[in-house]
Structure 1
Amino acid sequence: MSDEELVKRVRHLLHRNMISGERDGFAYHFTKPSPETYPFQFFWDTCFHVFTLAALGEVDMAKKHMRSLFQMQRPDGFVGHMSYWKRLWPGRITDLLQLRPEDVLKLHKPHMSALVQPPLAAQAVLRIYQGDEDLGFVKEMLPRLKKFYRWLAANRDFEGEGLLSIISPFESGMDWKASYDPVLGYDRGKAGPLLFWKVLQVDAHNFLKNYNLPELYKSNKFIVKDVGFNTVYAQNLEALAELCAILGDEDEAHFREQASITGQSILQRMFDEKDAAFYDLHGHHFDKLKVRTGTLFFPVVLKAVPKEVCQRVLERHLLHKDGFHVPFPVPSLAIDEPAFNPNESLYLWRGPTWVMFNWFIQEHLLEKGYTEEAGNLLQSVKQLISKSGFREYYDPFTGAGHGAEDFTWSGLVVDMMERQRQHNA
């Protein structure tokens, strides 16, 4: 498939999955990640769609997506990981438990979930600005963004060290991630029905506690500091500072300082010297969850991580592929971990390759001079799409497509192509 044909197909995919309308005074406009499997507006999916739309030159459409995402923002700044617009009833029992009890009584009108997702919003708005330099849009979105990131700091940085905790496996965006198994008391390696019930118990516990965050922290049932989530948080604090700088906003220094604090805490708390890996943490004592998932190299993109640490992590796990040596990288779990399963399954993020990993790390590889390696990640994504179409995830050995069909995350390939083009120019 030529690059021109691939871009054409990505554009068609996003427009085919788009939906817009008005309901109860709200105007919504978003792209379904998958028309059948994921018909709602998701937080970080919307941000991925912004990157893709910007790469396609459709900046105005990207703005509509971000406005829709923040339409129901609460006065305290909170924005849920799912927004229910046209279809108001959750599709799964797990989704129902991810609502605040009071919102279960309001399913007749638009509402949000009680969970969060990796906070990519500031980077998404910055990417839009880079597309058309519309100061008006930045002025419109900056107050909303500042309230959102202040809410995260006030409500999820329980220890005041700059690291955010998630309260459900679904908040990292990487459902059923194998590093959470020890927290859930699951020790059987490969996922099965028992794991489902253990995760369901977490969301039921949160629901019964009415999502009272101090109470949830005290109970310590599922308090996890995810490497990927916190890396994204640090990146977006930097992006928020950039947006403040664009407008001459006085909070620029504050958000830069917050980004630095988070980056330093990631390095000090999450990095394992012996394994040259960044691990998720759990509980009140920051215990490392030593399971090699695909996020173990994410923090190499941060300013706070020294060059020699970045090189060690990349050389060992990505370039020499210690546990990640597959024909179609990057697998979501090291192939020699007991939980590894490359096949289609209800239990996601336990082996298959997701385009997001390649997209996330490619930019850093280009910046650090790993041009060939970055190109290889892009080429792998192109081959996956050519072979199996736009799928939710792929078998890392065969490239077979699995999960949801007409899945928009694979559209990030056009952003990867634009990055590579700009780097080579």
Structure 2
Amino acid sequence: MRRWLILLLALSLQQVYAQRNKYPDVLNLHAEPPKGKSILTNVFSDMGAWHAYALPLHKEDNGAFIGPLIMGMEGEWLSGAFSRLELSENNQLVDLSVADANIRYFPGMLLQQLEINKLGITQQLIFVSGREALLHTTITNRSNSVRTLNIRYHGQSRKQITVNNETSSLQSAGFVAVFPAGTSITADSLSYSASNTGVVIAPGASYEQTQLQAYYPDTVHKPAVYEFSKSLKENENRWNGYLSRYFSASPKLTEIQKRLAVKCMVTLITNWRSSAGDIHHDGVFPSVNYQGFYGVWSWDSWKQAVGIVTFNPELAKNNIRSMFDYQDELGMVADCIYLDKSENNWRDTKPPLAAWGVWEVYLQTKDTAFVKEMLPKLIRYHEWWYTNRDHDQNGLCEYGSTDGTRIAAAWESGMDNAVRFDSAVMLKNNDGAWSLNQESIDLNAYLYAEKRYLDKLLAVSGEKNRYNDQAEKLLNMIRTKFFDAKKGYFYDLQPETGKLVTVDGPEGWIPLWAGIATKVQAEKVIQKMNDPRKFNTKVPLPTLAADHPAFDPMKGYWRGPVWLDQVAYGTEGLRKYGYKKQASKFEKQLLNNAVGLLTNEPICENYHPLTGKGLNAKNFSWSAAHLLMILKNK
């Protein structure tokens, strides 16, 4: 009987939650109650909130959601389970651990359904703002007699708890919980109890209560008042809107590919942080699962925006704005920004892909106002490169740093420890700018592409193009200076010696993505991409050719792992030159062989090219964003 009731409830939920209910548990959110700063658990957050939750793993935790995880300058669990439901009847505890349980994660909602002693218990957790979540509990009397229950929520915090019985609320280090009026709340330093006693439920009737749980990363505000049924409908409509927008533009996806697309969306939304502190527009963390990624990065943001705009255009725009809020007077954009701007990294910037990001947002939205807003900033950033990263002023740029260190210059490439930079040295350009002594092929290909995108954006703004001649000149220089005809590949150039840095890496196919290579050059590059000794590995297109002596995917961050942005640039480059079947073949290899992509495992920062194992940070944003781009090609 109990399992029949669970099935009946599940069927009714399918009707209520429509499209999003087709995609339960695209990520496995079941977790042990975690401790402290251990943040490897898959979590659920939404609407840019700065706190997150998981589902219980053990039956002893039935009636509780795991968390919250607080995400400020770093991640820390405030509690293993802050709100535990406890029921008693006739002075006897109802043992929820033996209840029939249906515990699921739907896009935008955590759900528990418990059946025990002819009581039906439903708990739903949704976010309603960038600060606030609602925990809604429904207890239904399925018996033929009146039931009188004592209903208690209790839990612990790792920070001091203070109670305000006038507002039926408590606080703990910026985290606020508000209970229904009339709830009796007591607290003892790090624990609390919130009780409603003598609750009478008639046969077939239900008792409902809504608890608000909020985290304020800056100033604690008075929590808003929400009607749960209305908020749930808005939540459902918003998520169905995300899915409908993406799927309508990608009609040929299989069901398993759709589940992957949904996993990409929930990954990006969970990493979304609303404006707070010194972050002035909403942005997206690279990953909630790595302490060093609790900020917003520049080229991450531009890549993320191209994926996010396929389902949430406003977040895509703000993700770009968040970085340009910190453009300096010279036109430079910081590498990364944080809640506390004193932590922002100004030692370097990142590869210039911002105009591409803005153009892709425009293609999806046709928002000319956004183009006009961003265009002057994009132009200043583009010109900054030639003022501060062109050592000999020959029109070809180098990666560099503001402090003269080679490590920051390598960071600026985004390929932190790439082999091609191993022998590079620094050259001073001016008091605040240094360059590596090599002109990088990917950087100049990106700058060529930016010139083309800037002219397109100028046209949208009703202005004359100004970069066509520069682009043509740069195209010819790249074709003649950076291509090794014997090796059939593009490489970085050392201008003082005229020698190419002949390391086979993904930078060599960026000229295909940018549309720079001649047909003959493209054919040569593609031959190398197809070579199983180099780039045609189990998971294709690693960041260093597999036959290079320094190839080491387990230790080398950019010395062998497959990064999904580089795969996407590679396959897009193949399509530009007419190699559509080969592009699809590489994408199929990626989707089928990167472990966990097509199951409910998290999307990783990168993957082992020979084994498919996921590497480094989990639930990685730009991987998710580029997968959305790759899936659209299907």
Greater share of strand: 2
Q: Is the 8 A contact 2:285 2:295 kept in 1?
A: yes
> Which residue does the alignment assign to 1:212?
432
> Which residue does the alignment assign to 1:370?
579
Report 1:95-110 matches (<5 A): 107=342
Out of 536, 553, 557, the residue aligned to residue 348 of structure 1 is: 557
Cα deviation for residue 319 of structure 1 reads 2.5
Report 1:19-418 matches (<5 A): 19-23=273-277, 27-35=280-288, 36=290, 37-55=292-310, 57-83=311-337, 85-88=338-341, 107=342, 111-167=344-400, 168-183=409-424, 212-213=432-433, 216=434, 222-250=436-464, 252=465, 254-282=466-494, 284-314=496-526, 316-321=527-532, 323-343=534-554, 345=555, 347-383=556-592, 384=594, 385-386=597-598, 389-411=602-624, 412-418=626-632
Cα deviation for residue 63 of structure 1 reads 0.7
- Residues 4-53 of structure 1 show CA distances to partners (whole Å, capped at 9, x for unaligned) of 211111111111111122336x6131111112241221111001111111
- Residues 182-239 of structure 1 show CA distances to partners (whole Å, capped at 9, x for unaligned) of 326xxxxxxxxxxxxxxxxx7xx98xx99632xx35xxxx333222222222111111
Q: Is the 8 A contact 2:561 2:607 kept in 1?
A: yes
2:516 and 2:574 map into 1 onto residues whose CA distance is: 17
Partner of 1:224, secondary structure, is strand
Cα deviation for residue 368 of structure 1 reads 2.7
> Which residue does the alignment assign to 1:199?
none
1:329 and 1:17 map into 2 onto residues whose CA distance is: 27
1:68 and 1:382 map into 2 onto residues whose CA distance is: 31
- Residues 160-199 of structure 1 show CA distances to partners (whole Å, capped at 9, x for unaligned) of 3332111211111011001112326xxxxxxxxxxxxxxx
1:158 and 1:61 map into 2 onto residues whose CA distance is: 37
- Residues 289-343 of structure 1 show CA distances to partners (whole Å, capped at 9, x for unaligned) of 11111222221234442211111221x2112445223111011111111111122
Q: 1:317 to 1:416 in 2, by over 3 A?
A: same
Q: 1:323 to 1:112 in 2, by over 3 A?
A: closer
Cα deviation for residue 267 of structure 1 reads 1.5
Give the structure, 1 or 2, with the largest relative contact order (CA under 8 Å, sep 6 or more): 1
Cα deviation for residue 249 of structure 1 reads 1.4
Partner of 2:316, secondary structure, is helix
Alignment RMSD, CA only? 2.2
Cα deviation for residue 409 of structure 1 reads 2.1
1:163 and 1:286 map into 2 onto residues whose CA distance is: 13
For normalisation by structure 1, the TM-score amounts to 0.80
Cα deviation for residue 112 of structure 1 reads 4.3
Partner of 1:296, secondary structure, is helix
Q: Is the 8 A contact 1:34 1:406 kept in 2?
A: yes
- Residues 38-74 of structure 1 show CA distances to partners (whole Å, capped at 9, x for unaligned) of 122111100111111122x211110111111100111
Q: Is the 8 A contact 2:257 2:598 kept in 1?
A: no
Q: Is the 8 A contact 1:79 1:112 kept in 2?
A: no
Q: Is the 8 A contact 1:323 1:336 kept in 2?
A: yes
For normalisation by structure 2, the TM-score amounts to 0.55
Report 1:2-13 matches (<5 A): 2-13=256-267
> Which residue does the alignment assign to 2:230?
none
Q: Percent identity?
A: 26
1:308 and 1:321 map into 2 onto residues whose CA distance is: 21
Partner of 2:631, secondary structure, is helix
1:111 and 1:171 map into 2 onto residues whose CA distance is: 14
Cα deviation for residue 280 of structure 1 reads 1.2
Q: Is the 8 A contact 1:225 1:281 kept in 2?
A: yes
Partner of 1:393, secondary structure, is strand
Count of residue correspondences: 365
Cα deviation for residue 256 of structure 1 reads 1.9
Q: 1:324 to 1:303 in 2, by over 3 A?
A: closer
1:79 and 1:21 map into 2 onto residues whose CA distance is: 18
> Which residue does the alignment assign to 1:18?
272
Amino acid in the other structure paired with 2:285: K
Partner of 2:506, secondary structure, is coil
Q: Is the 8 A contact 2:515 2:576 kept in 1?
A: no
Q: Is the 8 A contact 2:513 2:569 kept in 1?
A: no
1:246 and 1:41 map into 2 onto residues whose CA distance is: 28
Greater share of helix: 1
Q: Is the 8 A contact 2:519 2:577 kept in 1?
A: no
Partner of 2:280, secondary structure, is strand
Q: Is the 8 A contact 1:161 1:261 kept in 2?
A: no
Segments of structure 2 that go 5 or more residues without pairing to the other structure are 1-254, 401-408
Partner of 1:34, secondary structure, is coil
Q: Is the 8 A contact 2:271 2:287 kept in 1?
A: yes
- Residues 321-377 of structure 1 show CA distances to partners (whole Å, capped at 9, x for unaligned) of 45223111011111111111122x2x4110111111211122222233222211122
Q: Is the 8 A contact 1:329 1:358 kept in 2?
A: yes
1:62 and 1:23 map into 2 onto residues whose CA distance is: 20
2:301 and 2:445 map into 1 onto residues whose CA distance is: 18
Segments of structure 1 that go 5 or more residues without pairing to the other structure are 89-106, 185-201
Q: Is the 8 A contact 1:161 1:265 kept in 2?
A: no
